């Protein structure tokens, strides 16, 4: 039986990390990331990996108090060049949702980059094969995309967890299409799937295929970051 802790699961969502101070909706400067991670550590949050979450869901393995899952979407190269050194220095864990068709292209992580990161700190999940919007796909198309995604990572020798972040945070939300979508995720034996939502997740998780994440955007002030992590969307 999964223990019933008194604390929620917080999941942060990042995309890009800049070294030169560049800031936009998807880009957080590395100096801000450093402050945020130090703050989280000072507040007693314990970073966890996707595999820890999977073991919690499947086997009832307890999570630490104040569990925090830090995620990055898309697999940008700066996750390795700018973010990873900070996580490594602090000994904190992060998880990157990968798009196989992006790997080894332009501004995205390459296979060598992925394999160079310490697997005790960095784990990988699924983010569709080519960043398709699942909201618009049939069940068969979702199944085919996830098969292709898994195969693409396996062929590159990249270990991944049975966890999915919805591209664009989107999924079919009504009627038969919604049921078919979640049936597809179940058939693919996914343990966890992530939307956005900007709320904290009560434990034990009632809907492990609809885990909400806190969207950490570039330019967020320290005050707003602190409040968002503490309480979620309810403060805004």
pLDDT, tens digit (0-9, with 9 covering 90-100), for 169-208: 999 999 999 999 999 999 999 999 999 999 999 999 999 9
Which domains does the chain possess? 10-235 (3.20.20.370)
Q: For residue 233, what pLDDT band results from cuts at 50, 70 and 90?
A: confident
d(CA 179, CA 197): 20
**Residue for token digits 């058939």?**
187
High-pLDDT (> 90) share of the chain, % = 95
Is the confidence at residue 5, as pLDDT, over 80?
no
d(CA 152, CA 105): 14
DSSP label of 81: I
- State pTM to two decimals: 0.95
d(CA 46, CA 64): 7
Mean pLDDT of 146-172: 98
Is the confidence at residue 28, as pLDDT, over 90?
yes
Which ranges constitute the DSSP H helices of 9-49? 30-42
d(CA 186, CA 33): 35
Q: For residue 236, what pLDDT band results from cuts at 50, 70 and 90?
A: very low
- Given a contact cutoff of 8 angstroms between Cβ atoms, the answer to whether 164 and 147 are in contact is no
Q: Which regions of 169-228 does DSSP assign to beta strands (E)?
A: 192-197, 211-215
The pLDDT of residue 4 is 47
Is the confidence at residue 143, as pLDDT, over 70?
yes
């Amino acid at each position: 039986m999964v223990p019933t802790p008194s604390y929620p699961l917080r999941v942060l969502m990042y995309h890009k990390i800049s070294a030169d101070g560049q800031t936009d909706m998807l880009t957080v400067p590395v100096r801000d990331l450093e402050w945020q991670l130090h703050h989280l550590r000072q507040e007693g949050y314990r970073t966890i990996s996707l595999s820890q979450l999977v073991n919690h869901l499947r086997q009832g393995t307890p999570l630490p108090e104040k569990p925090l899952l830090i995620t990055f979407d898309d697999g940008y190269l700066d996750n390795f060049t700018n973010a990873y050194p900070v996580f490594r220095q602090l000994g904190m864990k992060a998880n990157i949702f990968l798009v196989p068709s992006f790997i080894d292209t332009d501004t995205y992580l390459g296979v060598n980059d992925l394999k160079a990161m310490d697997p005790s700190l960095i784990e990988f999940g699924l983010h569709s094969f080519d960043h398709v919007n699942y909201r618009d796909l049939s069940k068969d198309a979702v199944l085919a995309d996830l098969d292709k995604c898994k195969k693409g990572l396996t062929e590159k020798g990249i270990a991944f967890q049975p966890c999915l972040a919805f591209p664009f945070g989107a999924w079919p939300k009504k009627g038969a299409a919604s049921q078919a979508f979640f049936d597809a995720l179940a058939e693919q034996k996914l343990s966890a799937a992530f939307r956005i939502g900007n709320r904290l997740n009560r434990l034990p998780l009632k809907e492990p295929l609809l885990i909400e994440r806190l969207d950490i955007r570039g330019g967020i002030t320290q005050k707003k970051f602190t409040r968002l992590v503490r309480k979620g969307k309810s403060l805004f």
